[in-house]
Structure 1
């Protein structure tokens, strides 16, 4: 894989990683989620067919990419960034898009803002642990009073992050690790995966994280899914996901005539780590190229 810096149409510097044959018939573009970076896809990327080109990148405000300019920490702008990345790193050929969490929301926004690109070039889409709407009241899967309290805490945290200064209130690795273990994983996660998720969180730009959380709470792209209605696709969710539930996954699948719903028993929000083999198999099937044996998960 090669890594380089790329400047978007609004002047933001992103780090992009790409590999595979430059003349491949299919390019898989992997879009990570909120508070994470391109390392989300490490396990999945290693299991994709060698015949396809792979592109993944750090969203603005995440990983090694630059923080967004004021007013540009929006899912709409993430969709425009995705269009820019496709134009620069996969200008021809078929596309298979895979988005995890906010990455899936970014693909929905791409369909809304760049429908011609999606209709002309996207031959497959994988929505992983994401939602098309209904994220305004996150209860972490808790019922009643406990769920209402979780929602209030989540909103206050988003507001605090927008004002956050790393030098005044550093977030410790232990707290990040504990939060990751409790909130985004299902049963028996690998320690290395928990460490990776925590490290990605600590690398994200705090104010951007808060602003994007506000965007997630307002996200509603149900009607935009009409652009992808007949595109072959897969909607994946963990049955123990506390952030984007199986209800959210079913709502997406209901809008997509050519999609399948795949539920992963006992898995949480981080399917690219928890169920890397299954995610890679679903993406590979959409590529419609001869597959290679997948032995790791």
Structure 2
């Protein structure tokens, strides 16, 4: 079921809602840059079919998916954090929460901890999936330094093209699929992983791609991870992740040693579609823990 919720500044945001309603715990899944809530679809289906009685919220970030196009000046992680707080206030105003974020979605959770720490009094678990706490301005995509610098210059030139920015979508999925497989997917991805990755990114607005790039480069939130210190936290990364490599996950773990770090051999950046079971399992475990911690309802026997 889809709903439209006002973001922190009133921007219309699309949110998919799955699972039980009401449920003893709400799981909120935050997607990555150039993606949308569809990339959390396989994990959502696994969670809803599992043993933990959960309700799942999958918002599309501003400028992404079925959420509204917005002024590029509002395309910041700080704004995404405020939007996520607004979505939670509208659709899950009370009760235990489990939050999981993939890539930019994980960075959004860190910004949420920085800007809305009081919200984490309700959070019973956090999943940080193929994400980073900083250092993205120096990312090389696994390329030699010179090649990475050339790629970044080409990227900046493209982002400065008014003709490119005016396009309603990036390209056809077929045109992008080969490059996306190299950049984002690991060894032997399924047909579903290849198809969903290409379809979602191909439909992204070029203005969204360009607009969010500066906030990713500026992202440095090791200190914000302290908010998660007393919350069960799972950190997942693939060994073939070019965007947020294993070193980025180890940096998170160094700042948050209480977290459980899982390194998935052969996996790329798109863990929610590549390694559905391995991603769903720790989130489900966090949700079951949240259910176990939830107080009994007053209308049921203690």
State TM-score, norm by structure 1. 0.91
Runs of 4+ residues deviating >2 angstroms: 19-23, 143-163, 169-175, 288-291
Native 8 Å contact 2:186 2:266 kept in 1 = yes
Native 8 Å contact 2:170 2:201 kept in 1 = no
Shift of 1:217: 1.2
For structure 1, which segment, 95-104 or 187-196, has the greater mean C-alpha deviation from structure 2 after superposition? 187-196
CA distance in 1, matches of 2:77, 2:247: 22
SS of 1:46 mapped into structure 2: helix
Native 8 Å contact 1:122 1:231 kept in 2 = yes
List runs of 5+ in structure 2 lacking aligned partners: 292-302
Pairing 1:80–2:82 present: yes
Q: 1:170 to 1:133 in 2, by over 3 A?
A: closer
Q: 1:13 to 1:289 in 2, by over 3 A?
A: same
Report the counterpart of residue 45 of structure 1 in structure 2.
44
Cα deviations by residue, 1:32-84 (Å, 9 ceiling, x for unpaired): 00011101111111111350111111111111110123411111000001001
CA distance in 1, matches of 2:140, 2:97: 35
CA distance in 1, matches of 2:41, 2:246: 24
Report the counterpart of residue 232 of structure 2 in structure 1.
232
Report the counterpart of residue 165 of structure 1 in structure 2.
166
CA distance in 2, matches of 1:96, 1:229: 15
Q: 1:156 to 1:234 in 2, by over 3 A?
A: farther
Larger helix percent: 2
Shift of 1:138: 2.3
Alignment of 1:129-278 (within 5 A): 129-160=130-161, 164-166=165-167, 171-278=171-278
The aligned length equals 288
CA distance in 2, matches of 1:159, 1:264: 37
Shift of 1:172: 3.5
The CA RMSD over aligned residues, in Å, is 2.0
Report the counterpart of residue 295 of structure 1 in structure 2.
none
For structure 1, which segment, 231-240 or 150-159, has the greater mean C-alpha deviation from structure 2 after superposition? 150-159
CA distance in 1, matches of 2:117, 2:83: 15
CA distance in 1, matches of 2:287, 2:258: 15
Report the counterpart of residue 294 of structure 1 in structure 2.
none
Native 8 Å contact 2:113 2:224 kept in 1 = yes
CA distance in 2, matches of 1:98, 1:10: 23
Pairing 1:286–2:261 present: no
Q: 1:259 to 1:289 in 2, by over 3 A?
A: closer
SS of 1:133 mapped into structure 2: coil
